[in-house]
Amino acid sequence: MSNTRNLSYFPVSLFSATMGFAGLTLAFITSHELLLLTPLIYQTLGWITLSLFALLSLTYLVKIVRFRQAVKNEWQQPQALVMFPTYSISMMLIAMILDTLYPTAAAPVWYAAISLHLIFTFYTLHFWLNHPSLTLTDLAPSWFIPAVGNIIAPIGAMLYANADMAWFFFSIGIIFWLILLTLLMQRLIFNAPLPDKLTPTLFILIAPPAMGFLAYLSINEFKLDGFAYLLYYTALFMTLFLFSQYKRFIHLKFSVTSWAYAFPLAAMTNASFLMYELTANKLFGYFASVFIALLSALIVHLTLRMLLAIKNKEICTAPVPTQTVTHSPQN
């Protein structure tokens, strides 16, 4: 019975693990020829990603059926609400993987993903605008996640739809990234530091410019211009800066939010491989090679820590109260 109750605490944020595995898979799809690696690596990772997504989806579906109030509570918590788009983003990334593994399934999955993500985006914005009790200290880098999904969408739009749809999603993602970045910098500089549990989410700062670089080049027919360079170098600076802050992260206790390290680093890895491909500049090749090695080691580490946490029953536990509001949105 206790195991059943624990399911009510199953966090939607666990889909960030799927994002991490999907990002690693896409990195090997992009680089396997350059690194002279067998396709078996990305094929294996792809099926692991699909299996993980299916397992997490089934588990969360059981939670929806059996513990609806717990799901409603997540839907009304600022830090949990912004994690729901990790599900739709995972679907977008899986569509990209399926484009290589099983192409006929890619487009339907992508259309389902962007439809769901647009709903999440609308509701999240509604939630923010109708909560006068939200304060700047409620803001965290995880609030970028809805924007990141809109930045990822154009990659699929150029494959399965058209440039107008790609520009639609890209515009939403970039504008809200810049707005939230401004607010977040104010929060980080002039307010209390992020609690340890949310500190790994600082790596999400890498994702919008890195994915923006990949999406913009998809729309721009892979022609480098000033805006593409601006996005790439912004992402590279964020990556190097956060690496320089390693003492801030290295002693943190593992939690579900530790998966926030994975996808942003995967986005930077894919961006660097693409930059190397387009410029033939060996420096970008070195960056990409280092990043994919770090990403691979990180995924292995996080997976082992996750399995250990599951064994020790540290995952599906009652959340520790944080300084967030829990009011329902006003109509």
pLDDT value, residue 320: 57
Does 63 reside within a domain? no
Question: pTM of the full predicted structure?
Answer: 0.93
170-218 residue pLDDT tens: 999 999 999 999 999 999 999 999 999 999 999 999 999 999 999 999 9
Alpha carbons 244 and 108: distance in angstroms, whole number: 41
Is the pLDDT confidence value at 76 over 60? yes
Alpha carbons 164 and 286: distance in angstroms, whole number: 35
Segments forming the whole domain that contains residue 191: 12-57+75-311
CATH code of the domain in which 172 resides: 1.50.10.150
SS3 of 47-112: the string is HHHHHHHHHHHHHHHHHHHHCHHHHHHHHCCHHHHCCCHHHHHHHHHHHHHHHHHCHHHHHHHHHH
Q: What is the average per-residue pLDDT within 258-280? A: 97
Does 323 reside within a domain? no
- Specify the amino acid at residue 21: F
Does 317 reside within a domain? no
Does 144 reside within a domain? yes
Q: 168: how many CB neighbours lie within 10 A of its CB?
A: 18
Does 329 reside within a domain? no
Alpha carbons 312 and 243: distance in angstroms, whole number: 30
Does 68 reside within a domain? no
Does 5 reside within a domain? no
Total number of domains in the chain:
1
93-140 residue pLDDT tens: 999 999 999 999 999 999 999 999 999 999 999 999 998 889 999 999
Cα–Cα nearest to 151, from 217, 52, 100: 217
Does 2 reside within a domain? no
